[in-house]
Amino acid sequence: MESRPHHPKLSQKTAVETMQRLEGIVASAMDGIITIDDEQRVILFNPAAERMFGLPANEALGQHISRFMPERHRPAHAAHIHRFTETGVTNRQMGSLGAISGLRADGKEFPIEASISQVEIGGERLATVILRDITERKAAEDALLESRRRMEGIVESAMDALITVDEGQQIVLFNPAAERMFGIAAKDAIGSPIERFIPERFRHGHAAHIRLFKETGVTNRRMGALGAISGLRANGEEFPVEASISQVRIGDGKLATVILRDITERKANEDSRQLLAREVDHRAKNALAVVQALVSLTRAETKEAFIVAVRGRVSALSRAHSLLAQNRWEGGDLAAVLTEETRAYQSVNQLMIGGPSVTLTPNAVQPVSLLIHELATNAVKYGALSVTEGRVDVSWRILPSLELELRWTETGGPAVQKPETRGFGSTLVTEVATRQLAGELDISWPPTGMRLIATLPRSVYRPDISTGSVSGEEVAPKSLEAGSAGRILVVEDETLIAMELCNELESRGWEIIGPAATTDEAMRLVGGSQLPDVAVLDVNLGGNPVYPFAEWLQTHGVPFLFCTGYEQLDDHHSFKNRTTIRKPVNMTLLEGELRRIRQLT
């Protein structure tokens, strides 16, 4: 076989070209390339390394490689290099030094990413380090990390609950506020469906909201808003929350984040405001109805006397309301009530007031004011206050039975005797004390002056805070055809309104059963006797609803209507369509409705 001739010049030329290529690659490389000998001294320092470290190659060559790293890292670096030259492995991974710090000629540190390789040439072992300046990348990574930390801090410290779910509605984020709100740790919530925190009856509607939002970015309410909804705590407790939702696309998927705010306290405040507004409306209409009843029931021989009587009673109501308003409708001090109603007579020392601290309940302030007003008016007209020598002592005490005993004692006035007839004033005193206040009344007429003892139940005052010939007025004449219209039960706790209703209805031919001030009293009136043909019911009886008795009437087939100051019967939906007459009462309208509902049965 004929061998090919060897051309030394050609081989030398090829080697030179190869070397030139390699030198060109090294010189044009974007990464810094540094080669060191066994003593870790630089024998190659390419242009990229010159730019990276700010040092020309002729100054770098022969320098120890440690010159190009911060002093604190030099011992660890020497250990890396020593290990690598012996085993070909660094402390990190084969050939990789990872992200380390470099030191420029001006002393400035900067981050670099490095890898190392070695080769043996002519018995000498050389190591080459390839370096990449990652200052910008590191800055971007640091900025991203800082942004992430800030975002995590915001999420962690947010007062509102933040819950993020994937497209399968599985929870992927559950912040501390959500943990507190729902009473469950994040580790137990993540991975579970979000519907576990929604009451079961709302889950179908919630799913519809989420589907619509995923498709359109709009919920059934408005963009991104779920509004006020109900949440479900881990212990099964439902509570009101206000929610909004947003979504973001990440890769091929979408994440939705729900922001939730517990509005339990706000909802309670709103309900309280609505209740207060409703109660104020009720009280205002009730007050007008009481005034209307006063005007209707007051009798006098002259127009002037009538005006004086009405004005005095309306003023008593006004003072009672002012006292209630000052005390935020939480009641009134008994001494203050007595002082206000008798202020005109205290300057001449004719009236003495004394007793322990007692706070009347809101429902008792007005009737007690009327009671004292009528007693004072009678004393001025006919009793001890009609002469300068007269005296009135008003005292009260809490009995061992916890009842409130109120005493009115007159002395030094004209000789008195028990009146033969009862006018409106005396009737009002008796009805207020015994029916509206549910107490007992003892009136005696010794010659020295009238004496009244009213024993009132503990319900008229707050235990947590408190340790008659009268006016001679006549009530309206009765109808000569009483009972011809039928038997009617009147349930009304306001004495004056009840008296007016009974008088007016009786004058129009109705036989009156009652009036009853409580549901128990109403049951006693009808439970053991013939049922009434119809009933008129006040809704609020001293703070207790009439609805249980209304249901009893309904089951026994007795037609009835409500007579109330409330604008709507929101607290009992089954009666919201029941006939309701608003106070102050239009008697013609009331009677017309009574006759109509009676004919329907």
Which CATH number goes with the domain that contains 119? 3.30.450.20
User: What six digits make up the tokens of 307?
Assistant: 């005006």
Q: Is residue 289 part of a domain?
A: no
Query: How much is the average pLDDT of 435-455?
Result: 91
Query: How much is the average pLDDT of 436-440?
Result: 91
pTM > 0.75:
no
Q: Is residue 370 part of a domain?
A: yes
Q: Is residue 292 part of a domain?
A: no
205 plus 63 within the same structural domain: no
Q: Is residue 280 part of a domain?
A: no
114 plus 170 within the same structural domain: no
Chain centroid, CA 280 distance in Å? 21
Question: Residue 174, SS3?
Answer: strand
232 plus 339 within the same structural domain: no
The string of DSSP letters for 187-245 reads HHHTTSBGGGGS-GGGHHHHHHHHHHHHHHSB-SSBBTEEEEEEEE-TTS-EEEEEEEE
Residue-wise pLDDT for 30-82, tens only, equals 999 999 888 889 999 999 999 999 999 999 999 998 899 898 888 877 777 77
Domain boundary among 77, 103, 138: 138
194 plus 304 within the same structural domain: no
18 plus 80 within the same structural domain: yes
CATH number at residue 332: 3.30.565.10
Domain boundary among 138, 170, 204: 138
179 plus 31 within the same structural domain: no
443 plus 503 within the same structural domain: no
366 plus 455 within the same structural domain: yes
Own/partner long-range contacts of 421-424 (Cβ < 8 Å, ≥24 apart): 421/474, 422/470, 423/299, 423/469, 423/470, 423/471, 423/472, 423/473, 423/474, 423/475, 424/297, 424/298, 424/299, 424/471, 424/473, 424/474, 424/475
State the maximum Cα–Cα separation within the chain, in Å, rounded to a whole number.
168
pLDDT at residue 346 tops 90: no
219 plus 165 within the same structural domain: yes
Q: Is residue 105 part of a domain?
A: yes
Choice between 254 and 236, residue whose per-residue pLDDT is larger: 236
Domain boundary among 138, 168, 196: 138
**Residues 260/160, Cβ–Cβ less than 8 Å:** yes
Q: Is residue 272 part of a domain?
A: no
Number of domains within the chain: 4
Query: How much is the average pLDDT of 490-498?
Result: 89
Q: Is residue 145 part of a domain?
A: no
State the residue range of the domain holding 565. 486-599
Q: Is residue 469 part of a domain?
A: no
Choice between 456 and 266, residue whose per-residue pLDDT is larger: 456
347 plus 454 within the same structural domain: yes
Report the C-alpha gap between 422 and 209 in whole angstroms: 71
450 plus 498 within the same structural domain: no
**pLDDT above 70: percentage of residues in the chain:** 79
CATH number at residue 557: 3.40.50.2300
For 186-208, give one letter per residue: b (16+ CB within 10 A) or e: eeebeeeebbebbeeebeeebee
pLDDT at residue 424 tops 90: no
**Residues 56/50, Cβ–Cβ less than 8 Å:** yes
230 plus 376 within the same structural domain: no
